[in-house]
Amino acid sequence: MIADIQSQLTELLSRALFSVAPDFGIEVRLARSRQEGHGDFTSNVALQLAKQMKIPPRQLAERVAAEIPVSSLLARVEVAGAGFINLHLEASVLHEVVHEVLTRGERYGAGVRETPNRVLVEFVSANPTGPLHVGHGRGAAYGASLADILEFAGHAVTREYYVNDAGRQMDILALSTWLRYLDLFGLSVHFPPNGYRGDYVFTMARQLREAHGDRYARVDPVSILSGVPPLPPAERGDGEAQALRESHLDALIDNCKYLLADAYRSLHDFVLAEQLGDCRNDLAEFGVHFDVWFSERSLYDLGLVERALAQLERAGHLYSQDGALWFRSTAFGDEKDRVVRRENGQPTYFASDIAYHLNKYERGFDRIVNIWGADHHGYIPRVKGAVTALGLDAHRLDIALVQFAVLYRNGQKASMSTRSGEFVTLRALRDEVGRDAARLFYVLRKSDQHLDFDLDLAKTESSDNPVYYLQYAHARIASILREWQSQYDGEPGELERVDCSCLSDPAELRLLRELMAFPAVVDEAASQYAPHVIAFYLKDLAAEFHRYYTASRILVDVTALREARVALAACVRQTLANGLRLLGVGAPEAM
């Protein structure tokens, strides 16, 4: 209905333009006016066409404006500035917004699409080798909001977490846990410097003992080190020393696998299940849920990695060199070719990622959205190149980069403790500032901008804190509605039938305009992949309401006016609630 208004007006303007300039068909685009006094919608067609039509823009605008058909929607049309055509809506159109918001309720702002796109949103996808940190938190908040926004905008969304359960990192974690576990049985082995050293590894070791007793401890500690190259001195930081430490670690992993034999797989799976379970709980408490947990290992188990490579091979995009197998990604704009199978026969991470993307396409999505940390930006050309090489349309793949978040406490950086090099965990952040503040702060900035996360501000219980500012507006209205029900026997269910034509105060009309914009805001947030657009809109809406509340009493004596104002307030509450839900932030009834 409301979305219709804009398209109806666009149609009116298109017809006017056609009668003035039938030979200059350009698409008419209406924009919401940025400034009060410039009407509700504005068009710059006259400015765009003036030159090629050789008519002064202002004059052209006048001629187009004069041809706009009479409509009950429009109060007036005026030409302003350099040649803008401003459309002013009839107040009755604004009044209808109230009915619209209240009848649609939780669905107000939602898009209806005849043919919804099937969209896959893959996000977080952190290695399950330790707790999520605040960097993952931003990806989680952004991805979850984006997925909700796309869904609300009318698409069919699948939320997916890609589990890197096949790689060396998981082996390192399994080994680390095993060594800590052996420690519990008095079987001490020097812990490798590049193993996982976090407290959670000790915890898992104890859990492993509780669950499986000494099943993995029936080994000779000497055999663990057999054939393992010695470590270089700790103070050596050169490349050769690093390489020695890596091969030391790899040798330990090999021995672990050899000594445990079949039991290694269950150790690996135990560690994986623990970490994934922890991650899932963490995210669930953050209000972030997934439809699919996609296993990297399954790509190997089902032969999909080999199949993808074979497909590239057939298409002539692979070649052998130096004993390795390479993908000719330079043919697709990458700066160098990339190895897909190492000299030792092992496929690279990139190889499984190619298979993963092929699989995404084969599942039939219209759009595929990858949300990555910005440090992966160099990875984009090779993935898009691989997709193209597989004969797929790379334009259906969108990669949204999320920049790092830096925490500040007392004006000082706090995101990384400099001594241990460990990141602050997402869980610690949630414990400190709460879920709502964390979710909102993460999406308050454009995702591809660095984020300064002010912990002190997030914890402030005042209007300085945007979380409270938004929630307070919602709670305030909820309180008014309760008061209205108890003092005036108000029936919320009746509000959608209230006659709102008495709403004529400029502040009321501003609120109605703001409410009317919400569907377009959702649409913009969806098409731009920009949850922050919702956040900024909500701040504007809340501010408009707080202003109105301070200036005008809602529960006045005159029944008709009181009911109209209550209905208006109820619309603001509903719209705030809908927007907050898209951001994963609670909308409290009372504060």
Partner RNA sequence: CUGCCCGUAGCUCAAUCGGAUAGAGCACCAGCCUUCUAAGCUGGGGGUUACAGGUUCGAUUCCUGUCGGGCAGGCCA
555 interacts with RNA by CB under 7 A: yes
**211-250 positions binding RNA, by CB under 7 A:** 246
554 interacts with RNA by CB under 7 A: yes
Min dist CB 559 to RNA, Å, is 14
- What CA–CA distance (Å, rounded) separates 108 from 64? 34
**161-180 positions binding RNA, by CB under 7 A:** 164, 167-169
Whichever of 278 and 296 has its CB closer to RNA, that residue is 296
Whichever of 314 and 336 has its CB closer to RNA, that residue is 336
Retrieve residue 424's tokens: 């602050």
What are the strands, taking DSSP E only, across 420-560? 451-454
For residue 283, give the nearest of 159, 166, 199, 373 by alpha carbon. Answer: 159
Whichever of 426 and 554 has its CB closer to RNA, that residue is 554
27 interacts with RNA by CB under 7 A: yes
329 interacts with RNA by CB under 7 A: no
Whichever of 202 and 472 has its CB closer to RNA, that residue is 472
Cβ proximity of 95 and 259 under 8 Å: no
Q: Dihedral of the CA atoms 174, 175, 178, 183 (nearest 10)?
A: -150
56 interacts with RNA by CB under 7 A: no
Min dist CB 307 to RNA, Å, is 19
Whichever of 361 and 488 has its CB closer to RNA, that residue is 488
Beta-carbon-side half-sphere exposure of residue 521 (alpha carbons within 13 Å): 24
Q: Please pick, from the candidates 72, 115, 321, 420, the single residue that binds RNA as defined by CB under 7 A.
A: 321
35 interacts with RNA by CB under 7 A: yes
Cβ proximity of 111 and 522 under 8 Å: yes
- What CA–CA distance (Å, rounded) separates 467 from 462? 9
Q: Please pick, from the candidates 106, 285, 375, 494, the single residue that binds RNA as defined by CB under 7 A.
A: 375
Min dist CB 215 to RNA, Å, is 27
Phi and psi at residue 73, to the nearest 5°: -75, -30
Q: At which residue do the structure tokens 């993307």 appear? A: 357
Min dist CB 536 to RNA, Å, is 5
Min dist CB 343 to RNA, Å, is 4
Q: What angle do CA 377, 527, 83 make, to 5 degrees?
A: 115
Min dist CB 148 to RNA, Å, is 19
State the distance between the two ends of the chain, measured CA to CA, in whole angstroms: 34
452 interacts with RNA by CB under 7 A: yes
Whichever of 110 and 555 has its CB closer to RNA, that residue is 555
Q: Please pick, from the candidates 3, 18, 47, 202, the single residue that binds RNA as defined by CB under 7 A.
A: 47
The number of residues making up the chain comes to 591
Q: Dihedral of the CA atoms 33, 39, 44, 47 (nearest 10)?
A: -130
**462-501 positions binding RNA, by CB under 7 A:** 462-464, 466, 468-469, 472, 475-476, 478-480, 483
- 402 by Cβ neighbours in 10 Å (0-12 / 13-18 / 19+) ranks as buried
| DSSP assignment string, 21-71 | -TT-------EE-SSTTS-SEEE-HHHHHHHHHTS-HHHHHHHHHHHSPP-
Retrieve residue 188's tokens: 């001490």
Q: By rule CB under 7 A, what string of x and - marks binding of each residue 495-534 to RNA?
A: -----------------------------x-----x-xx-
Min dist CB 533 to RNA, Å, is 6
What are the strands, taking DSSP E only, across 421-525? 451-454
Cβ proximity of 75 and 90 under 8 Å: yes
301 interacts with RNA by CB under 7 A: no
Helix (H, G, I), strand (E, B) or coil at 363: coil
Q: Please pick, from the candidates 7, 92, 449, 485, the single residue that binds RNA as defined by CB under 7 A.
A: 449
324 interacts with RNA by CB under 7 A: yes
Q: Please pick, from the candidates 11, 488, 536, 586, the single residue that binds RNA as defined by CB under 7 A.
A: 536
Min dist CB 342 to RNA, Å, is 3
Q: By rule CB under 7 A, what string of x and - marks binding of each residue 387-426 to RNA?
A: -----------------x----------------------
Min dist CB 281 to RNA, Å, is 22
Single-letter residue type at 579: G
Q: Please pick, from the candidates 21, 38, 148, 271, the single residue that binds RNA as defined by CB under 7 A.
A: 38
268 interacts with RNA by CB under 7 A: no
For residue 352, give the nearest of 226, 541, 170, 141 by alpha carbon. Answer: 170
